[in-house]
């Protein structure tokens, strides 16, 4: 059947012999793509009388939405919390390298830093689409410095700040600008945090609770003011206690406003969270689980000494510690590794594991109409994976940007 180009002259690509993750199920269908978007084949056949210009045999691969990493501090020797003259080339390198791990969009994350670092780095981060140059940038995730001293984790104590003086104005002065900011992690027990949460939410910025000693009622109050995320659940917060479960209690709280969902990040690297804790969280609140790498500059590098913002960290296998201590400091796990470990640890379905790294982070950021699904008219950012969830190829806007067997890969 000849192709009808009355709607668009762009070529139509048909991916055949594949299982597509759509509507929470792997479905044996073809995937149709034109101009970077996923097409509805029925409209194509019946309205346009069109057909494919190119057919690609996927050899029974799984096709899943591209992964979205909302907490990544760097990788491959690049530290997003270091103000350098070639910061742009660093972020470009990371965005290129994470394509092989199935990440098609990410939020570069800065840990607690002096104001001068935010003022220098944030203007160099710009929201952009992904492509052959690398994964898309959704905006920055600022983790700190408005966090608890008791639960600072790997964050430098001398850089921590409070809202005592000017609340939101203090935050603006610290960061310099919120233009490219997508997520802010803060401790909700801090004085005047409620007004800060309201102001950030009003600007469309996702507020995440973390590095905190908040009790459950403080956490619930933060959610009622607009917070929607928990930064790396279980890590850098009070441990679960049956009389006051703290932030962890949000997973089963009955005080969440109607129609609102609380999401929570999990570092599923086998180090930060015991598999039993991963299972508890997943069974308590499966639809809120968002896989994050929390990767640091040492991801993709040999063991040894690397940086995390103002601190020196030591990598020993999959463990990363603040040098000279046993304080965990980020991860060196890749997103595809986290997805596989999550599936193995929880025994969940392939679909569930894939959606924790794609659909859920997209829902958290309110971009599920464009990313995180393979619904018609959404962005054609997707992966081909084998049955063991190893990434075989990565596509952004319908174009192949990485392939396992490609020369030089």
Is 100 assigned to a binding site? no
Is 236 labeled as ligand-binding? Answer: yes
Is 381 designated active site?
no
CA distance 378 to 246: 37
Consult the annotation and say whether 317 binds a ligand: no
Burial (Cβ within 10 Å: 0-12, 13-18, ≥19) of residue 252: exposed
- Is 28 annotated in a binding site? The answer is no
- Ramachandran quadrant class, 3 (left: phi over 0; alpha: psi -120 to 50; beta: rest): beta
Q: Is 243 annotated as a binding residue?
A: yes
Catalytic residue among 69, 79, 269, 294: 294
Residue 272 annotated as binding?
yes
158 is in an annotated binding site: no
SS3 percent helix, strand, coil of the chain, rounded to 5, is 25, 30, 45
Q: How far apart are CA 286 and CA 359, in angstroms?
A: 12
As a three-state string, the secondary structure of 216-280 is HHHHHHHHHCCCCEECCCCCCECCCCCCCCHHHHHHHCCCCCCCCCCEEEEECCCCCCCHHHHHH
Q: Find out whether 328 is annotated in a ligand binding site.
A: yes
Q: 330: annotated binding-site residue? A: yes
Return the bridge partners of 18, or none. Answer: 61
- Maximum separation of any 2 CA atoms in the chain, in Å: 70
Q: What is the DSSP string of 101-155?
A: GTEEEEEEEEES--HHHHHHHGGG---B--BTTB-EE--EEEE-SSS-STT-TTS
- 211 marked ligand binding residue: yes
| Residues making up the binding site for Zn(2+) | 143, 211, 232
| Residues making up the binding site for substrate | 154, 235-236, 243, 272, 328-330
Q: Which positions are catalytic?
A: 294
| Residues making up the binding site | 143, 154, 211, 232, 235-236, 243, 272, 328-330
């Amino acid at each position: 059947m000849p192709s009808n180009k009355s709607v668009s002259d762009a070529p139509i690509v048909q991916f055949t012999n594949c299982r597509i993750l759509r509507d929470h199920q792997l479905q044996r269908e073809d995937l149709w793509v034109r101009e970077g978007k996923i097409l509805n084949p029925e409209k194509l056949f019946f309205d346009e009388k069109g057909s494919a210009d190119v057919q690609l045999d996927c050899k029974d691969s799984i096709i899943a939405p591209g992964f979205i990493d909302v907490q990544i501090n760097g990788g491959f020797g690049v530290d997003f919390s270091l103000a350098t003259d070639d910061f742009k080339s660093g972020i470009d390198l990371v965005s290129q390298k994470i394509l092989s791990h199935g990440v098609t969009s990410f939020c570069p994350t800065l840990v607690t830093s002096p104001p001068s670092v935010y003022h220098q780095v944030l203007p160099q981060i710009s929201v952009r689409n992904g492509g052959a140059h690398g994964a898309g940038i959704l905006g920055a995730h600022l983790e700190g410095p408005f966090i608890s001293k008791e639960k600072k984790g790997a964050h430098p104590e001398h850089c921590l700040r409070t809202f005592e003086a000017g609340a939101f104005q203090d935050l603006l002065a610290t960061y310099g600008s919120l233009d490219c900011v997508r997520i802010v992690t803060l401790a909700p027990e801090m004085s005047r945090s409620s007004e800060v949460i309201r102001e950030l939410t009003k600007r469309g910025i996702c507020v995440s609770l973390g590095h905190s000693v908040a009790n459950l009622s403080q956490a619930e109050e933060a959610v009622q003011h607009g917070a929607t995320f928990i930064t790396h659940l279980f890590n850098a917060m009070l441990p679960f206690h049956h009389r006051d479960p703290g932030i962890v209690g949000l997973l089963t709280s009955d005080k969440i406003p109607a129609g609102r969902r609380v999401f929570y990040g999990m570092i599923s690297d086998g180090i930060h969270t015991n598999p039993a804790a991963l299972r508890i969280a997943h069974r308590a609140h499966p639809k809120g689980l968002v896989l994050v790498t929390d990767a640091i500059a040492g991801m993709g590098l040999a063991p040894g000494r690397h940086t995390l913002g103002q601190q020196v960290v030591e990598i020993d296998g999959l463990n990363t510690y603040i040098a000279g201590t046993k304080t965990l400091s980020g991860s060196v796990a890749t997103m595809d590794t986290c997805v596989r470990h999550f599936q193995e640890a929880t025994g969940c379905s392939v679909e569930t594991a894939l959606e924790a790294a794609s659909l859920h982070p997209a829902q958290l950021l309110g971009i599920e109409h464009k990313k995180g699904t393979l619904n018609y008219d959404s962005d054609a950012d997707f992966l081909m994976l084998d049955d063991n969830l190893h990434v075989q190829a990565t596509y952004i806007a319908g174009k192949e940007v990485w392939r396992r067997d490609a020369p030089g890969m």
